[in-house]
Each structure stands twice: as structure tokens, then as C-alpha cells.
Amino acid sequence: MKALFTTILGLATVALAAPAAEAQISFGPRIGANFADFSYHTQSSYVLNSQMRLGAQAGVAANIGFGNLAFQPALLYSQKGYRVDLEDSSPNRFSTHQEELRLNYLEVPLNVVYTTNGATGLQVFAGPYLGLALSGKGKEKGTFSTGGLNDIFEGKYDVEFADQAGNGNTKAYYRRFDLGATFGVGYKVGPMQAQLGYAMGISNIVPNDQNNDEPKNKIRNRNLQLGLTYFFGAK
């Protein structure tokens, strides 16, 4: 992953340092959708079943093109999160937990794009991204059975962003910053560009616990992304 970031940033630096007269520069709006999921690692006995959660993506993008190669930075509002079902069992108890979480990010992807015929054709792209969480909400419900007694709970909660978890019973705590990489394929014809990509977070968004110890659980964002961009001034 470090090698990928170094290569992409190196290509982007070369593109930005090239003479402006040689560059084809255009800007435009981008809209799309996230099919959001996550990677989850835990030391508990939970059995986890996750589902993709549909979210919106919108913002602006630039295309700085040099023949077949282009640097495409963007500034996007991006909805991420997940839907998950958990089960935990032991000889004396059984519990289930269903949860749905939405996290709203300001995201900056920095992609290098190769287009087969310059301004038109099939594309491949890759690059790093940086996400800044703006807000979040979740809802959950579950059951807990022990000794023949059943308990059912249901509720909603707000998200607070911090590097260390607090003790609020009505909040969930996550780290604000998300770093990762995107890669995928697309097609560009004239000013229109459609891309299908996969965004793979490398940052654990679970904060340290209340004792400021490293978290035992690890959650990383995973998103299948579909985006459509119109570049004004593109040839």
C-alpha cells in the first residue's frame, strides 16, 4: 500500500509540475452512489453478517490531462457506513444484535487516470484518498436470552468523533480521519466520464478505549463507488 501511495503521488507531482501550456484542464460536478460496507476484525465470539448500505456521493472534480494520462483530484460529500447482524452464543446465553450506521464524510480522492485514446476511451485509475468525518447517526436493536429470560432492546444514537472513547451511553465513538486508496475502471467520451471504483480504507476508525488503550476491534471502510462527472471545458 505504501508503494502504491508513493507511485501515485509521484505521478501527480509530475503532472502538476509540467508546463501549464501542455495541460488540458477542466472542472465539473460529480454525482454518484456508494455501496458502503466495512472490514471488521474482533477477538470476541461474535458471528458477523454484513450488508452493503446505499449512500450518496456528490461534489466537484478536476481533470488535468497530458495525453493519455490525467490527474483527477476531487472534493466530495460521501456517505459511508454499514448494516450488520451479529450473533453471540454460549452454553448459558444467546444474543443477537442488528445495527445500521451512517457516517458522512468530506472526502478528497487524488486519482491518476489512464485513458486508452486520450480524451475518449476506456480508463483505469488509482490513487489515495483522505476522508474527514462530519457527522453520523445509527440505530440498533437486539435480543438477549439467559436462564430462560428474554430481553429486547431498540434505540437510536448519535456519533461522536474522537481518538479516545467516552462513557456516553447514547453515543458511539469513531475516529474522525479516514485514509485509504481507490482503484477502478471507467469510460470517458468528450466531457462525460463514468467510473466504477472500489475504495479501501486502511485506517482503523475505532478509537482507543476509555483507558486510552489500543482498541481490540478494528473497523475499516470498504466502498463500491459509482460516479458520473461532467467536465466543463473538456475537448
- pLDDT tens figures, 68-95: 999 999 999 999 998 888 777 666 777 7
Could you list the beta-strand ranges (E) of 42-68: 47-51, 53-66
Tell me the pLDDT band of 40, cut-offs 50, 70 and 90: confident
Predicted TM-score (pTM) of this structure: 0.81
Cell of 115: 485513458
d(Cα 150, Cα 49) in Å, to the nearest integer? 22
Identify the pLDDT of residue 94.
74
Mean pLDDT of the chain: 86
Q: Where are the domains of the chain?
A: 2-15+32-230
Tell me the pLDDT band of 154, cut-offs 50, 70 and 90: confident
- Relative to beta strand 149-161, strand 171-174 is parallel
- Relative to beta strand 171-174, strand 24-41 is unpaired
**Average of pLDDT values for 116-140?**
94
d(Cα 173, Cα 209) in Å, to the nearest integer? 10
- When comparing pLDDT for 176 and 146, which is higher? 176
Residue appearing with cell numbers 476484525? 41
- When comparing pLDDT for 41 and 27, which is higher? 27
Least confident of 12-16, 177-181, 193-197, 217-221: 12-16
- Residue 6 amino acid letter: T
